[in-house]
Structure 1
Amino acid sequence: MSNLARELQHQQQQRGQENVRPSKAKDRSTFWLTPGEKLLGLAFAGMVCYGAIQMISNQSQIYQVNKDIQQVQTSIKEQQKVNGDLQVQVSELSSYERIRDKAKKMGLVQNENNVKVVQEK
């Protein structure tokens, strides 16, 4: 039995040494991430960068549209002011007294029989 026991003991020691050696070699050759995980990480990073660029692009377009809207609103306000001034001028120029004075200067005479009253709605 001593011969057989020594032989078994020797084989077990060799197996133990064989198990230890490959595990160290595997530890050296294994990477933290597999190639598939690296690919997925790279794809995710690319998607994040693309999304960030899209967001910045959209914000710049929104800014430009808002700027254009403000310019149009400013020009509308200016045009409304001009229209209001012109409306006041029309009211002043179309007053009855002014028209009567212009007619007298041109030599027209008011005839009560030919006057027709026009009402505005």
Structure 2
Amino acid sequence: MKFIANLMVALVALEHVAFLILEMFLWKGPIGQRIFGTTPEFAAQAAPLAANQALYNGFLAVGLAWALVARRFDLKVFFLSCVVVAGTYGGLTVKPTILYSQAAPAALALLLVLLTSRSKPAS
């Protein structure tokens, strides 16, 4: 079960690396415009904002990777909680699908991390 929890944490981290790439490097291109439903003009104007947002996603990914490498329960809980809060806020204020693509995977990973911290090996 701990392996599955850590795998979910890793998947959430990779997801945020993908968000970073999308928002920083693909934002103004056809992929970014299709995913975010923007026009070339809007994408060009909003590119600095998207790149700034991409950095935050990168920080979340690095934090989750740090938590995995350091095997730190507290860091996993902290960074997954940040993702859940950000995903929930985004889902409520920007686009409801963010709840499913960002908040839900992080919430599942958080639940698994919490459950595995309470389980003790069988004697």
**Shorter chain as normaliser: what TM range?**
under 0.3
Q: Pick 1 or 2: higher relative contact order, CA cutoff 8 A, min separation 6.
A: 2
Larger Rg: 1
> So what's the TM-score if we normalise by structure 2?
0.25
> So what's the TM-score if we normalise by structure 1?
0.25
